[in-house]
Amino acid sequence: MANYPLLFTYKDRLLVADKFVEVTTRGRILAFQDPEDRQWWFYGVNPGAIAASGSLPAAAHADFRVTFKDVLADFASEAKKVEVFKAMAEAFFDQVAPETDKEWWDAVQDVRSGRITLPLERRAADEPRGIEVQVVASPNSSEFTTEPALEAAA
């Protein structure tokens, strides 16, 4: 079974304590197809507390994206201050399962060596990953997009 190391960049706008915030997340996913049920699984590496599946990689990614956004929305509804939301989002992002992290880096080596290939743009696996929360003036912006970007880590 091949593992696929993916990088994602998501941008979300949420209402937190009567303020609009923009959340930019640059995270990592370990993807693979289960040999028994043929489902595709996307396991979060950063954040490591979520997983999603689907019959195709695009379906698994869509489910992962919705799950991720739902977690942020839950944090936004619970937080009484932007600073509290930011702390919750950062703690969520920083949850990493050591085994999944190791499998992800092993898969990166497989991409670098050519043992596996992905039909995605490649990006350096060691680029900084993280989550940023910024207060913004309004919920609308021509520069804002919620379209998720997936890239192969290499």
**Cα R_g (the chain), whole angstroms:** 16
SS3 category, 72: helix
Does the bond joining 57 to the residue before it have cis omega, within 30 degrees of 0? no
Could you tell me the residue range of the domain that residue 90 belongs to?
3-153
Give the Å distances, CA to CA, from 116 to 74, 102, 120: 37, 17, 12
Q: How far apart are CA 66 and CA 130, in angstroms?
A: 19
Residue 146's pLDDT band (boundaries 50, 70, 90)? Answer: low
Q: How many domains does the chain have?
A: 1
The per-residue pLDDT for 148 is 59
Would you say how long the chain is, in residues? Answer: 154
**Spatial separation of the C-alpha atoms in residues 1 and 139, rounded to whole Å:** 43
pLDDT digits (tens, 9 = 90+) for 89-134: 999 999 998 999 999 999 999 999 999 998 899 999 999 999 999 9
Q: Please write the tens of the pLDDT for every residue from 5-59.
A: 999 999 999 999 989 999 999 999 999 999 999 999 999 999 999 999 999 999 9
CA distance 39 to 61: 12
